[in-house]
Structure 1
Amino acid sequence: MQRFTQGLYGYAVALFVCLAGAGLFLLITPQSREEHIPKREYSITVANFGHSVPYGVWAPRKDPANWVPNSNRIAKGENGAEVLYLGYATGKREHAMFVQSDERPAAAFASRMANTDKPVGTQQVGGVTWEQRFREDKKQRSLVRTLPEVTLVITGTADWAELAELAAVLQQRPKG
C-alpha cells in the first residue's frame, strides 16, 4: 500500500485539508462589513492655529452632513507662514481638504494648493464668489478665495457641489 502523503492523491488531500482549514478560519472569524474612516477632531488644532496667526481663523462652524473629518495639521509654508490643513472624507466618500494661510504671494500659495494656476470659472456660495480651478490629470477640483489677510482653498477629488458644501459652512472666528 502506498503512503497516504505520496503522489497526486496525497497532494490533493493535503491541499483540500489546508483550504478547508482556511475556510473554517474565515467562517468563524468576526468580520465587519461597515466602513471605517478614522475620525480626527480638529478643534484643538484650529485653536492652536488661531494663537499663532495675526488674523481671525476660518473654520467650519459644523461639519457637512455625512462628512468625516479625517486629518488636520499645522505646517510651515513658504516664507515661514503657518498653514492650516483640515481633511475630510465627503458624503460621497471622496476627498476634500480646507487649507488657509497668510502666505505671500497669495497667488503662489493658491496655485501650489490647487496644483494649478489656471482658473476655469467661478462659483457662488452663500453670496460669495469663489474661483474654480481644475487639474485634469489628478481629477483635482479647487475653490479659491483670496481675502486681504488670508487665502482660503478647498481642494480635492470631490465634485463642485461637495466642495461648495464645505465652503458654505466656513466662518471666520474673531482673533483672540
Structure 2
Amino acid sequence: MRFTQGLYGYVVALFICLAGAGLFLLITPQSREEHIPRLDYSITVANFGHSVPYGVWAPPRDPANWVPNSNKIAKGENGAQVLHLGYATAARQHVMFAQSNEQPAVGFANRMANSNKVLGTQQVGGVAWEKRFREDKNQRTLVRVLPDVTLVITGTADWAELGELAAILQQRPKG
C-alpha cells in the first residue's frame, strides 16, 4: 500500500498541513494594538478656505482620544464645494464633519444625513442643532443651517460624542 493512498495517507497529509499552518501562525509577528492611521487635515481646511466665499468652520484641536482619519474636498450639487473631515472617536465609532454652502441647504443636509426626518434639537454650547437618526444605518446626525453655510456632523457615534465635536467647532476668518 502506498503512503498517498487510503485513509491513513489522507490523515497524515491533513496533519502535516495543519502543523504547517500552526507553525506559520506561531512565527508570524502579530500586533495586538489597534492602528488607525492619523491624517492631518490642516492643509485640506486651508485649501478649502481659499475656494469658498465664507469663513470655514473647523475644530481648533481634535477632541480627546479622537483620531482624524480622513479628509477631502468634494464637489456638491450646483458646483458647490464640500469639506469632509472623518474621525474615529474615543469609543472607536465613526464621525464625519461636512460643510458646504450648497443650495438648497436642506438638500445638502438630507444627503449627508441620509434622512430628511428631524427628531428635534440638541443644545450644544447654547446653540440648537437639528437631530436626525437613520435606524437601519445606526446613523445619528446633527445639522446646523447658517446663512452662508450648512454644518453637518454625522456617524455611528452617540449623541454625546457628536455634541463633543459640535462644541469645539470654530469659524475661521475668511482670508
Shorter-normalised TM range = over 0.9
* Counterpart for residue 45 of structure 1: 44
* Counterpart for residue 114 of structure 1: 113
Please give the alpha-carbon distance, in whole angstroms, between the structure 1 residues aligned to 2:112 and 2:28: 44
* Counterpart for residue 31 of structure 1: 30
* Counterpart for residue 148 of structure 1: 147
Tell me, which stretches of 5 or more residues in structure 2 are unaligned?
none
Identical aligned pairs, as a percentage? 81
- Count of residues paired in the alignment: 175
Q: Say which SS state the counterpart of residue 55 (structure 2) adopts.
A: coil
TM-score (norm 2): 0.97
Deviation at 1:168, TM superposition (A): 1.1
Q: Which amino acid aligns with 1:45?
A: T
Q: Say which SS state the counterpart of residue 161 (structure 2) adopts.
A: helix
Deviation at 1:5, TM superposition (A): 2.2
Please give the alpha-carbon distance, in whole angstroms, between the structure 2 residues aligned to 1:101 and 1:4: 71
Where does 1:44-123 land on structure 2 (aligned, <5 Å)?
44-123=43-122
Q: Which amino acid aligns with 1:76?
A: K
TM-score (norm 1): 0.96
Please give the alpha-carbon distance, in whole angstroms, between the structure 2 residues aligned to 1:28 and 1:173: 52
Please give the alpha-carbon distance, in whole angstroms, between the structure 2 residues aligned to 1:35 and 1:156: 20
Deviation at 1:69, TM superposition (A): 0.9
Q: Deviations over 1:132-159 (max 9, x none)?
A: 1111221111000011111000011111
Q: Say which SS state the counterpart of residue 174 (structure 1) adopts.
A: coil
Please give the alpha-carbon distance, in whole angstroms, between the structure 1 residues aligned to 2:44 and 2:23: 46
Please give the alpha-carbon distance, in whole angstroms, between the structure 2 residues aligned to 1:136 and 1:19: 43
Please give the alpha-carbon distance, in whole angstroms, between the structure 2 residues aligned to 1:62 and 1:171: 10
